[in-house]
Chains A and B, each alone.
Chain A
Amino acid sequence: MSVLLEIRDALRNFYSRHELYLLPFFKFCFSFFVILMINFNLGIGSRLSNTVIVLTVALICACLPINLLVVVAMLFSIYHFYEISLECAVAGGMVYLLMFLLYYRFSPKDALVVLMVPIFFGMKIPFVVPIVAGLLCSVTGAVSVGCGVLAYYVFIYMRDNAAVITQLDADNLIARFRFIIDGLRSNKGVFVVLVAFCGATLVVWILRRLPVAYCWTIAIIMGAVLMVTVLLMGGLNYDTGMTTKYVIIGMICSMALAGVVHFFMFNVDYSRTEMVQFEDDEYYYYVKAIPKNSVSKSKRAVKKITSVL
């Protein structure tokens, strides 16, 4: 454990010393990865798949606030929708626009969560996002997770039905539009995933704020249990596109990742909890103090031995 704590402290120190260079570098890598994933899923052979364009946009994103990456990602996906058909672009753009108009006014800081959901879906461990959002974000994180789920399913629907949509009568705009909207509406599995993810985010958020020992661990476990239950029960009636094996293995990996986040963000030693009580002129104070886990760096003493001959 102490080795892990030492590594954590070393990483923290390294990051704080080189934050000026590391932050744009991470932003660049993340932007590059996000755009690459969008292109890989939707736009192979498209003009925007050009590596020079992707690198340039990622480089620009590295210098901009991270929230703008969400806008860039949405613009990229709308362009790919447009390459499938105009109606796809209108329907997809409308979903994104509604998210922006109705939600991002309240919580622009959580915009990154919206991107994380499709990315982790691509990595087959989407369950980590609601748990981590519940641990680190405010209550509005649940809405961000919900928006991410919606964005992902719109994305997947367009990708899977691109061939069918392009084969529909090109002159009949309304028929194409209706096909897209009907397809999006008829997928009831999305609602099951929405309930599971938003519910888990809320449960994790509520539990990790409780003044009880191991609240973060309890929150992670309960969030995971809720998600597994809702997804498996819902999967019996609706097509969520997730098998039992996928849910169980994905959940175990997600819990392990959430454990890593827990280790870095909230590592306390409950065995050394102290309860103190004192008073001043106006109040009595009942304080529960839980020390953070930390290790003091082993100091290497260098002894200089000089010999006089």
Chain B
Amino acid sequence: MLSEERIKLMTKMAAYEENEGKQYMAIGSYFRADYMGKQIIRSIICATIAYLFVFGMYVFYHMESLMVDIYKIDLLEFGKKVLYYYVIFVAGYAVLTYIVYSVRYSRARKSLRKYYDNLKQLLAIYDIENKN
């Protein structure tokens, strides 16, 4: 026999699985440290590429003066400066990533907890139905 309560619950859960649940389940399949690590590594790669592009543009923009002064410039000092800005930029971006993704992870876990509660409730309904 059809149980209205069970069907309502199943519909609700199916809608969740189709929409926001899809994204949250992907996040929930990771341990927190693994998830954060993955996102931070991705961010570091993105930030490195972005920095390289900006540095490339800087070099191209100042090409003429760099070519003229190439022998006068303290290359080691210049390299240190470039590296210094790189570390600051990447570290800042990684911290931002950490904050954003830790909020997302906790939100996903909270949402999934509700989903699992519904799942337990559904199992309980099935048990009752089977006994009857």
Residues of A whose CB lies within 8 Å of any CB of B are 91, 94, 97-98, 101-102, 105-106, 174, 177-178, 181
**Please, which residues of chain A bring their CB within 8 A of the CB of B57?**
91, 94, 181
Q: What distance in Å separates the Cβ of A105 from its nearest Cβ neighbour in chain B?
A: 6
Smallest distance from the beta carbon of A25 to chain B beta carbons, Å? Answer: 22
Complex Cα spacing A120 to B49, Å: 32
Set B42, B54, B100: member contacting A98, Cβ < 8 A: B54
Closest to A175 in B: B64
Would you call B64 and A105 a contact (CB within 8 A)? Answer: no
| B31 is an interface residue with CB less than 8 A from chain A | no
Nearest 3 CB-CB pairings of A with B: A101-B50, A101-B46, A174-B63
CA–CA, A177 and B57, complex, Å: 9
The answer to whether A177 touches B60, judged by C-beta atoms less than 8 angstroms apart, is: yes
Contacts beyond the supplied A97-B50, A97-B53, A101-B46: 17 A-B pairs with Cβ under 8 Å: A94-B53, A94-B57, A101-B49, A101-B50, A101-B53, A102-B50, A102-B93, A105-B42, A105-B46, A105-B97, A106-B97, A106-B100, A174-B60, A174-B61, A174-B64, A177-B61, A181-B57
Q: Which residues of the partner chain B approach A97 to less than 8 Å between Cβ atoms?
A: 50, 53
Shortest CB-to-CB span from A251 to chain B, Å, is 32
Contact with A along B32-53 (1 / 0, CB 8 A): 0000000000110011011001
B61 contact set on A, CB distance < 8 A: 174, 177-178, 181
Q: Which residues of A contact B97 (CB under 8 A)?
A: 105-106
Complex interface: chain A residues within 8 A of B63 (CB)? 174
In the complex formed, the residue of B with least CB distance to A180 is B61
Contacts of A94 in B (CB 8 A): 53, 57
Q: Quick check: B50 and A98 within 8 Å, CB to CB?
A: yes
B93 touches A98 (CB 8 A): no
Q: Determine the distance from Cα of A105 to Cα of B61 in the docked complex, in whole angstroms.
A: 28
A181–B54 Cα gap in the complex (Å)? 12
Residues of A contacting B100 with CB < 8 Å? 106
Chain B residue contacts of A174, Cβ below 8 A: 60-61, 63-64
Which of A102, A174, A181 gathers the greatest number of chain B CB atoms within 10 Å?
A: A102
Report the bound CA distance from A97 to B100 in whole Å: 21
Cα distance, A138 to B9, chains bound together (Å) = 29
Nearest chain A CB to B69 CB, angstrom units:
15
Chain B's closest residue to A106 (CB) is B100
In the complex, which residues of chain B have a beta carbon less than 8 angstroms from the beta carbon of A98? Answer: 50, 53-54
Interface-centre pick from B43, B53, B60 (highest chain A CB count, 10 A): B60
What's the minimum C-beta distance from B64 to chain A, rounded to whole angstroms? Answer: 6
**Cα distance A91–B93 in the bound complex, in angstroms:** 23
